Amino acid sequence: MTKRVIILGGGFAGLHLIRRLERILRKAEADVTVVDRQNYHLFTPLLYQVATGELPPHAVAYPLRDATAPIGYRFVQAEVDRIDLASRAVHTVDADLSYDHLVIAVGSVTNDYGIPGVREHAVSVKWLADGEDLKRRILDTFEDAATIADPTRRREALTFIIVGAGPVGVELASSLRDLMDHTLRRIYPSIDFNRDVTIHLLDGADRVIPQMNPRLSRIAIRRLERQRVNVLLRTLVSEIGEGCVRTKDGAELRGRTIIWSGGVKMNPLVASLDLPKAKDGRLIVDATFRVGGRDDVLALGDAAYFEYQGRPLPQLAQVAVLEAPAAARNVAALVRGEPPKPFVYKRKGDLIALGRTQAGAELARFGGLVLSGLPAWTVWRVNYLMQLLGVRNRGTLLVEWLLSYFAGRLVANTP
């Protein structure tokens, strides 16, 4: 009998899973449905470039129907608000979808750690709309500031505070400075970019990108200093108000644009499920991605807590992409009534973009070799160009990167 497989989420985990599943599973064996609230896959590692005008939004959004229809999989654009494990159904506003095997790949959501004011007064960087919104705010701020005569008010308007010096915060800070130095400086002659503009980057940790190799942190901090980014480490935020960030040690920073890149937490859809969870809310999976030992529910990507050699795998696109082929093989095995096989994790390393021709790269497969400067930047660019799916997306990426480099960034504040 043909089995029904539902994949919840067309992010890194879901998309790469179906790409592999298609090669393993015959059409007669299963009807596969992908459900996502968006009809595109968002390539999050390049979202900050949308926010800083290096790329247009469509460069980082790959249509999920392109990934499903040609291989005979069904795509349903819908918000899933409930999963009924007992009756094996996924509930959306429009319909109930029944399954024999469910793959939960719904990712995570922004975590404000309960800090007052984050949601109201800070912009987060998680979805495509966030990137577009942030870009609009940045450009609006410069338009306003260009007409402010009072230097104190102008400086406050042009102070950008980024909370969270993980990869997102660091790449954003660096790219924001590049946007100013290589594009905005030329077109806003009334602004003194050395004196009027400040970028603060705050983190509670004692180094930037604390989740990466310490050598990458050193490369990043040197570069940020050269880019005149004011990095404040061991700084814990207690509250965010309108145009101000208060820290636990009693300091207050004032700035019109506050960006929250503080981390992620569990998707509420997963939080509502009666399945085994880790302390951070992720679904505990075994080495074959099954949740609670069940053959009918698998999870991977940010939603899954996969312990490898005593430590949980981090919530990264890289991890989701590496997990996907193994999870696909196991979905196919379970559909056929065969035993699933354990996943073996092989870390690839880390990349961090640090603006124009600068980056840091740690290549795990070359004995942890660490590169900086132009070689790392080349590795970074080639890697993302290859990872992005779709001829149109790749073409846009290549052309826009070249244009941004040689002709300046996209600074028309279009809706």
238 binds ligand FAD (CB under 6 A): no
Tell me whether residue 284 is exposed, middle or buried, using C-beta atoms within 10 angstroms of its C-beta: 0 to 12, 13 to 18, 19 or more: middle
CB of 307 to ligand FAD, least distance (A): 17
Cα gap 270→283, rounded to integer Å = 7
CB of 192 to ligand FAD, least distance (A): 31
Structure-token pair, residue 291: 């949740």
Q: How far is the CB of 190 from ligand FAD (least distance, A)?
A: 32
Residue 32: its H or E element: strand 30-36
Q: Which stretch binds ligand FAD (CB under 6 A): 25-33, 191-199, 295-303, 333-341?
A: 295-303
Which of 5, 13, 97, 410 contacts ligand FAD by CB under 6 A?
13
CA 396 to chain centre: 20
Tokens of 94: 């429009």
CB of 17 or CB of 145, closer to ligand FAD: 17
Decide if residue 168 touches ligand FAD (CB under 6 A): yes
**Which residues, 64 to 103, sit near ligand FAD by CB under 6 A?**
79-80
Q: What SS3 class is residue 213?
A: coil
Collapsed DSSP state (helix, strand, coil) of residue 139: helix
Q: Would you give the end-to-end CA distance of the chain in angstroms?
A: 50
- Applying CB under 6 A, among 315, 330, 372, 393 the residue interacting with ligand FAD is 315
> For ligand FAD, which residue of 107, 169, 255, 355 counts as binding (CB under 6 A)?
107
State in angstroms the smallest separation of the CB of 237 from ligand FAD.
Answer: 19
Taking the complex as a whole, the smallest distance from the CB of residue 375 to ligand FAD amounts, in Å, to 18
Contact between 36 and ligand FAD by CB under 6 A: the answer reads: yes
| Two structure tokens written together for 159 | 């102070």
Instruction: Name which of 45 and 53 has its Cβ closer to ligand FAD.
Output: 45
The set of residues, in sequence order, having a beta carbon less than 8 Å from that of 314 and lying 6+ positions away, is: 211
Q: Which is nearer to ligand FAD, 37 or 226 (CB)?
A: 37
Residue 215: φ, ψ to 5°: -65, -35
Output b/e per residue, 62-91; b: 16+ Cβ within 10 A: bbbebbbeeeebebbbbebeebeeeebbbb
Of residues 267, 358, 372, 404, which one binds ligand FAD by CB under 6 A?
267
CA 106 to chain CA mean position, Å: 13
The distance of closest approach from Cβ of residue 174 to ligand FAD in the complex, given in angstroms and rounded to an integer, is: 13
**Interface positions with ligand FAD (CB under 6 A):** 9-14, 35-38, 44-45, 47, 79-80, 105-107, 125-126, 167-168, 267, 269, 301-303, 315-318, 320
